[in-house]
Amino acid sequence: MAQPLLILLGCCTCVVLLIPVLMFLLTFIYRWSCVLCGLPKPGVTVAAGIMFVSWVAFVLAVSLLRAGVHAACDAARLPPWEASIITFLLALPIDLLISAGVEAGLMGVRFGKAVEVWYTQRLIHLAIVVVIVLVASVVYLIQQFV
């Protein structure tokens, strides 16, 4: 009985220890995006604050959106996986508006520049995901042929 408890405790400890690493990575990408878009590099605490406020507002908005989309899809008798895809696609412009609005308000930049920073951030995130998938695919293929 103690074995699953130790595994759960170890997983929780790893998750708690990865939170600062994830926050550093997101803050680094945000600061890098600002520099790539020609804005002054914000301080670490300012960047972390902007990322946190954007995340909280986004989570609240998407939770309301998800409830509405799932209710509408239930009424239309669509499967839940389609509701999830619809929610994901509708969440992208909401994320753009929230992130750019928070940045424009807190950093004092034009909304168009904040949109540019959002696009740059998402391109960097996408590039990281593509590299991870590419490396995992190559490792998987190597394991299949060895």
Parse the chain into domains and list their residue ranges.
Answer: 2-145
One-letter amino acid for residue 9 of the chain? L
Q: How many whole angstroms separate alpha carbon 62 and alpha carbon 2?
A: 38
The two structure tokens encoding residue 138:
């190559």
pLDDT-based confidence at residue 146 (cuts at 50, 70, 90): confident
Predicted confidence (pLDDT) per residue in 3-29, tens digit: 888 888 888 898 899 988 888 898 999
pLDDT value of residue 23: 86
Indicate if the pLDDT at residue 1 is higher than 70: no
pTM: 0.80
Please choose, from the candidates 101, 116, 103, the residue with its C-alpha nearest in 3D space to the C-alpha of residue 38.
116
Contact 50, 30 (CB under 8 A): yes
pLDDT value of residue 129: 96
Tokens 């959002």, residue located:
118
Predicted confidence (pLDDT) per residue in 94-124, tens digit: 999 999 999 999 888 999 999 999 999 999 9
